[in-house]
Amino acid sequence: MGQPAGLASDYRHSAKEAVFRGLETSAGVRLKWYDLALHGQAVSDEIHGSARAYLRERLAGGGLGQAGDCGFVILHRCGAAFYFLLVTVWRINNEAWEAVFYRDEGMTEFAPFHPAYTSPGTPRPTFCIWELGIVAFEAECWAALGRSERTTASLRAWDQRICTAVV
């Protein structure tokens, strides 16, 4: 078997740390917030604050979430100066709906990431291997809530189940 097309011969995978940074409850939306970065290269407070402010502005403006939505945010440090801000809300019982934003060197705030949306019917990026660790954890949390009676206690239990791990 030859070299897999999607895996460069010089690539060596390194683990990243998922760090829970609290709940974001702007505009009636409940989002668990995670920062994701290599060990020793945490997301800075300045970038984290910029991402929070941008998300709150987008939520207040409508279109990103609606009152009662639940989901999660991944602020992913992808390199020295490039960040993805991934906002996922659960819709139609069991579907993860995602909005993608980014910030790169020289930018003062986050912006929508349009290159992720290629021509219809062709493969496009979704989550990377590190992000999938958080997504899998949150999918199980959502499934557990879906199996519950949806009481205040069960929503509180969803709030308190957090992923803080090496992925």
Three-class DSSP labels, 93-135:
CCEEEEEEEEECCCCCCCEECHHHCCCCCCCCCCCCHHHHHHH
DSSP 26: G
DSSP 38: E
Q: What is the pLDDT of residue 117?
A: 64
The CA distance from 142 to 58, in Å, is 24
Q: What is the pLDDT of residue 73?
A: 98
Q: What is the pLDDT of residue 125?
A: 79
**Residue 143 — φ and ψ, nearest 5°?**
-60, -40
pTM beyond 0.85, yes or no = yes
What is the residue type of 166? V
In which region does residue 145 sit, left (phi positive, over 0), alpha (psi from -120 to 50) or beta (all else)?
alpha
Q: In what order do the strands lie in the sheet with 95-103?
A: 111-112, 95-103, 83-91, 70-77, 30-38, 16-24, 165-166
In which region does residue 139 sit, left (phi positive, over 0), alpha (psi from -120 to 50) or beta (all else)?
alpha
Per-residue pLDDT of the chain (167 residues; tens, 9 = 90+): 677 888 898 999 999 999 999 999 999 999 999 999 999 999 999 999 999 999 999 999 988 888 999 999 999 999 999 999 999 999 999 999 999 999 999 999 999 998 656 677 777 778 899 999 999 999 999 999 999 999 999 999 999 999 988 99
Locate the domains of the chain by residue range.
16-117+131-166
The CA distance from 103 to 121, in Å, is 27
Q: What is the pLDDT of residue 106?
A: 95
